[in-house]
């Protein structure tokens, strides 16, 4: 019981500190960029939600810098359309060739983002990726993706709003997600099919 308590405290602390806060690292070229979805994909007026949009902007920025020749957008229809499809539409609108973008449309959470995206990576022989999301989500995402042996993940944070409420909501979401992992084996569930 005491061991689980300290494990929970450590996870909470990790969730509260943005992954990129630990170091300003130089990204190296990878096989693919992976943009994690955020739902609902569109608002009531049909526009992409702002969190999704910020992630696409960062992916496109890294693509233009030549950090990877291919992109995977991952996320199912959690309301307002399929997250991955909406992300692809936005990236194409920003000038990325459609044939450079793969969409993974089955994932409903970060665990399945990892599982299904790594399956696409394996199909193409890709071993390295740059994962893009908000800075609070990246540690958990990397931890789940790297449950797959032989997969190397770097992380790149998208922009975040100045609004303190945004940060409180996103940090709270991360704390809840990490606490939920105490009751299951998320890294086992994140393993791609062989």
pLDDT tens, residue by residue, 34-82: 999 998 999 888 899 999 999 999 999 999 999 999 999 999 998 889 9
Question: What percent of the chain is modeled with pLDDT above 70?
Answer: 88
Per the structure block, which two tokens stand in for 19?
């992954």
Phi then psi for residue 182, to 5 deg, are -65, -20
pLDDT over 90 at 25, yes or no:
no
Range of the domain at 37: 30-189
Q: Is residue 139 part of a domain?
A: yes
Instruction: Grade residue 4 by pLDDT with cuts at 50, 70 and 90.
Output: low
Element (H, E) at 80: none
pLDDT over 50 at 149, yes or no:
yes
Phi then psi for residue 57, to 5 deg, are -55, -45
Strand ranges of the sheet holding 70-74, from the earlier edge strand across to the other edge: 101-104, 70-74, 32-36, 128-133, 152-157
Q: Is 123 helix (H, G, I), strand (E, B) or coil?
A: helix
pLDDT over 60 at 13, yes or no:
no
Q: Is residue 1 part of a domain?
A: no
Mean pLDDT on 132-161: 96
Q: Is residue 74 part of a domain?
A: yes
- Cα dist from 131 to 77, 111, 151, 174, 181, whole Å: 20, 14, 12, 17, 20
Q: Is residue 34 part of a domain?
A: yes
CB 130 within 8 A of CB 27: yes
Give the chain's domain count.
1
The DSSP code for 20 is G
Q: Is residue 8 part of a domain?
A: no
Q: Is residue 102 part of a domain?
A: yes
Residue 44: predicted pLDDT: 87
Q: Is residue 16 part of a domain?
A: no
| CATH code: domain of residue 74 | 3.40.50.620
Q: Is residue 22 part of a domain?
A: no
For residue 38, which of 79, 70, 9 has the smallest C-alpha distance?
79
Mean pLDDT on 160-178: 91
pTM of the model: 0.89
Mean pLDDT on 7-18: 55
CB 105 within 8 A of CB 143: no
């Amino acid at each position: 019981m005491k061991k689980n308590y300290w494990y929970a405290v450590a996870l909470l602390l990790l969730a509260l500190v943005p992954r990129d806060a630990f170091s300003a690292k130089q990204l190296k070229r990878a096989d693919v960029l992976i943009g994690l979805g955020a739902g609902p994909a569109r608002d009531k007026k049909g526009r992409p939600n702002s969190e999704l949009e910020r992630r696409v902007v960062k992916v496109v920025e890294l693509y233009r810098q030549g950090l990877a020749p291919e992109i995977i957008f991952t996320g199912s229809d959690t309301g307002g359309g399929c997250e991955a499809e909406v992300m692809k539409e936005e990236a194409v609108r920003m000038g990325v060739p459609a044939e450079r973008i793969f969409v993974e449309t089955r994932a409903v959470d970060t665990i399945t983002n990892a599982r299904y995206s790594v399956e696409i990576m394996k199909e193409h022989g890709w071993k390295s990726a740059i994962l893009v999301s908000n800075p609070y989500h990246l540690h958990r995402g990397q931890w789940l993706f790297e449950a797959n042996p032989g997969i190397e993940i770097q992380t790149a944070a998208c922009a975040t709003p100045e609004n303190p409420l945004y940060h409180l909501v996103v940090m709270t979401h991360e704390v809840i997600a990490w606490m939920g992992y105490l009751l299951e084996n998320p890294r086992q569930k994140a393993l791609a099919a062989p």
